[in-house]
Chain A
Amino acid sequence: GQQLNQSPQSMFIQEGEDVSMNCTSSSIFNTWLWYKQDPGEGPVLLIALYKAGELTSNGRLTAQFGITRKDSFLNISASIPSDVGIYFCAGLTGNAGKSTFGDGTTLTVKP
């Protein structure tokens, strides 16, 4: 089946630093989604990407849909303590709606 390789697995950064994480796949996706999950909560959608090459921002977050449609990255600028959590990428194909998830990147921000 389809698999997403998400890296890094975890990050420990200082408040104010920028963060970058990415997902790659051997399969092509039509849509890339990035989520943040806080402990005990469901994932919250941060950014959705629909076209190859698309670059989209949401506040301090920026994500891009790779040209090959097999990868995506998420950047967080000027990190703050509330950015702590687990970030997941997800790829969608077609209209079936079934998502393939990366294994997540756990972000820790030190004040």
Chain B
Amino acid sequence: GAVVSQHPSRVICKSGTSVKIECRSLDFQATTMFWYRQFPKQSLMLMATSNEGSKATYEQGVEKDKFLINHASLTLSTLTVTSAHPEDSSFYICSARRQGGAFFGQGTRLTVV
């Protein structure tokens, strides 16, 4: 069964609004989670590393004020897309490491209209 749960799976929002995406590790504690963005027919692009109890580490070119990450507990990380614009429309996926490998959530399809 799934070990990482992501919610919501789909969201449509108006331009200028903010959207929060949740990523939960279901049966293990994850001090580190990862947020990816995926464009159609492309590979996963790492956006940031979410660290429990401390600031996230962002990859080069990713705006930290645009993509707010909070990792308040050992089982939950959230990604908030602030003041969303149509170009932020994409598939966002989180993952967490556990013994046995890195496991992914189901992904969130964000559409900004």
> Residues of A with Cβ closer than 8 Å to B?
31, 33, 35, 40-45, 48, 88, 90, 92, 96-99, 101-104, 106
Contact = CB atoms under 8 A, between A and B. Distances in A.
Among the interface residues B6, B41, B101, B103, which one has the most CB atoms of the partner chain A within 10 A?
B101
B44 A97 contact: no
A99 B107 contact: no
Given A42-B93, A43-B93, A90-B102, A98 B46 contact: yes
Contacts of B103: 45
Contacts of A88: 43-44
B33 to A, nearest CB: 9
Contacts of B102: 33, 45, 90, 92, 97, 99
30 contacts: A35-B104, A40-B91, A40-B109, A41-B106, A42-B4, A42-B6, A42-B93, A42-B106, A44-B104, A45-B100, A45-B101, A45-B102, A45-B103, A88-B43, A88-B44, A90-B102, A96-B32, A97-B32, A97-B49, A97-B97, A97-B102, A98-B49, A99-B34, A99-B46, A99-B95, A101-B43, A102-B43, A103-B43, A104-B42, A106-B41
Contacts of B109: 40
Nearest to A32: B101
A98 B102 CA distance: 9
Nearest to A100: B46
A39 to B, nearest CB: 10
A56 to B, nearest CB: 11
Contact of B101 (A40, A41, A48): A48
Nearest to B100: A48
Contacts of B46: 98-99
Given A97-B32, A97-B34, A104-B43, A43 B101 contact: no
B43 A40 contact: no
A106 B95 CA distance: 22
A35 B43 CA distance: 12
Contacts of B49: 96-98
